[in-house]
Amino acid sequence: MPAKASIYRQPNPLLRASFPLLVLFLFAIYSATFEMIPGLRYVRPQFIMAVLGLLAIFGTGRFLKVITSRIGMCVVAFTIWFIACVPFGMWPGGSVHIFLEQWYKTALIFLMAAGLITTLPQANTIFYTIAYGTGLLSIITLLKHTYSSEGRLILDNTRYLNPNDLAWTLLIGLTFIAYVYLRGTPRQKGIAVLMALPMLFAISRTGSRAAAIAAVLLFLSVLWQSKPSTRVRLLAITPIVLMALIVLMPRDTLLRYTTYFGHYSNFDMSAENKVLISTIGSSEARMRLLIDSLLITARHPLLGVGPGNFVVAQDVLAKARGEARGLWHVPHNTYTHLSSEMGLPGLAIYVAMLYFVFRTLNSIIRTRSRGRAWADLKALALCLRTAFIMFLPVGFFDSLAYNADVPILAGITVAIGFMAQKQRAIDRANETAAKVQALTPADLALEPVTAGTC
């Protein structure tokens, strides 16, 4: 290990020059700004940035390092299995569409995140980029004030057309906002608080019940990581914010959060009963989709019915039961969505990726070494682990199988894992150098004597 090696500096000029591409790329994704500028989507700036970033990864040899990491191997294996499932699916054309429109782009974003983040300042910049990008997303969404037919907040004509996807991304942003608040300067802490308010308001308007559960987990995690003084402030302000959200929340949305099962009348045309029909009907449909996804998994345990084909298979299953048609909706469960479309091997690969993510982050958090570098690494790892902890329950209530957010966070985890490996090597080199310097001139002058020659 070179004497001047550091995880705070990147000597390679190509990697240094390519990093701003990733910053702009992720900001465009999390803020949705590029998607809303008229005509810009036809230029495809994100595709151009991705190509340039990937050329840098290939040109510097980072590509092989990324894909041979344990998380990288899971992403590669998932991609290979995805392709293997396509020709055996119920509708191969639908699987090809999912691959071209979602997964291959997601895999490339993983490579960019894992390959272009090489120093702690860069990782810190990425965390701030995601925090501010999602903060801007919440403000834009609230200003556009677009709602679905169910009265749930969405951002039309973007990747956040689904209120559940919007809520999940804003939750990720809140995790990184918490990082800014816990690690930032007083000015940055103020910005974090100001951005958290519209984000919480926007999440509440999405009507995502899974997001509500995850938000509680996020609050408990931030509370646990905070200093005692910060803890007191959070406990004091939380009831005020919660009451404000409840007061400002539309009655229909509040009823959605507080109603899961119950009874309604098909003959009552009142506004409240219509909300009950929508809310309780949604819960019943979710249960039906969950059961059907398990049935399809049991019938196609190896290759599934093909990526993107669950809706087709569920329609066939519903008609076999005597129903007029299927629900034509993906299951609100990431895990059974994967098992039904890519079989148990596809689910196993995805779970393995999550396992290695937690293993990498936990190894950093539990490191006993001290110093500025490890304090920074642990703070980054704690933030990422919190995001993945939130994903575990959200994954049971929302379908995020091919969503880009988890692979992006996994890519950042790989990059931070590489930094931790480098820092451990630096620590060992420094320990060896310290031991050599501690030797006296007399110790250095001693020559080993061959046994038996005395």
Which pLDDT band, with edges at 50, 70 and 90, does 315 fall under?
A: very high
Say yes or no to pLDDT of 434 above 60: yes
Average pLDDT for residues 121-138, to the nearest whole number? Answer: 96
Which range, of 80-89, 142-151, 268-277, 278-287, averages the lowest pLDDT? 268-277
Average pLDDT for residues 96-107, to the nearest whole number? Answer: 91
Which range, of 7-11, 108-112, 182-186, 276-280, averages the lowest pLDDT? 276-280
The 3-state secondary structure of the chain, one letter per residue: CCCCCCCCCCCCHHHHHHHHHHHHHHHHHHHCHHHHCCCHHHHCHHHHHHHHHHHHHHHCCHHHHHHCCHHHHHHHHHHHHHHHHHHHCCCHHHHHHHHHHHHHHHHHHHHHHHHHCCCHHHHHHHHHHHHHHHHHHHHHHHHHCEECCCCCEECCCCCCCCHHHHHHHHHHHHHHHHHHHHHCCHHHHHHHHHHHHHHHHHHHHHCCHHHHHHHHHHHHHHHHHCCHHHHHHHHHHHHHHHHHHHHHCCHHHHHHHHCCCCCCCCCCCCHHHHHHHHHHHHHHHHHHHHHHHHHHHHHCCCCCCCCCCHHHHHHHHHHHCCCCCCCCCCCCCHHHHHHHHHHHHHHHHHHHHHHHHHHHHHHHHCCCCCCHHHHHHHHHHHHHHHHHHHHHHHHHHCCCCCCCHHHHHHHHHHHHHHHHHHHHHHHHHHHHHHHHHHCCHHHHHCCCCCCCCC
Residues 48 and 31: their CA atoms lie apart, in Å, by 18
Residues 98 and 190: their CA atoms lie apart, in Å, by 41
230 or 6, greater pLDDT: 6
For residue 87, the model assigns a pLDDT of 95
For residue 6, the model assigns a pLDDT of 87
For residue 338, the model assigns a pLDDT of 97
Residues 403 and 401: their CA atoms lie apart, in Å, by 6
Say yes or no to pLDDT of 157 above 80: yes
For residue 216, the model assigns a pLDDT of 84
pTM listed for this prediction: 0.88
Say yes or no to pLDDT of 291 above 80: yes
Say yes or no to pLDDT of 90 above 60: yes
Say yes or no to pLDDT of 274 above 60: no
Say yes or no to pLDDT of 323 above 70: yes
Residues 406 and 113: their CA atoms lie apart, in Å, by 12
Which pLDDT band, with edges at 50, 70 and 90, does 306 fall under?
A: very high
Average pLDDT for residues 195-213, to the nearest whole number? Answer: 89
For residue 370, the model assigns a pLDDT of 83
For residue 379, the model assigns a pLDDT of 94
Q: For the chain, give the percent of residues with pLDDT over 90.
A: 56
CA nearest to 103, candidates 355, 299, 349: 349
243 or 454, greater pLDDT: 243
245 or 383, greater pLDDT: 383
Residues 307 and 354: their CA atoms lie apart, in Å, by 20
Mean per-residue pLDDT of the chain: 86
Which pLDDT band, with edges at 50, 70 and 90, does 267 fall under?
A: very low
Average pLDDT for residues 411-428, to the nearest whole number? Answer: 95
For residue 258, the model assigns a pLDDT of 63
For residue 111, the model assigns a pLDDT of 94
Gyration radius of the chain's alpha carbons? 25
* Phi, psi torsion values for 273, nearest 5 degrees: -70, -35
Say yes or no to pLDDT of 280 above 60: no
Which range, of 114-118, 149-153, 444-448, averages the lowest pLDDT? 444-448
Say yes or no to pLDDT of 450 above 80: no
Say yes or no to pLDDT of 233 above 90: no
For residue 334, the model assigns a pLDDT of 95
For residue 265, the model assigns a pLDDT of 45
Average pLDDT for residues 325-330, to the nearest whole number? Answer: 89
Which pLDDT band, with edges at 50, 70 and 90, does 310 fall under?
A: very high
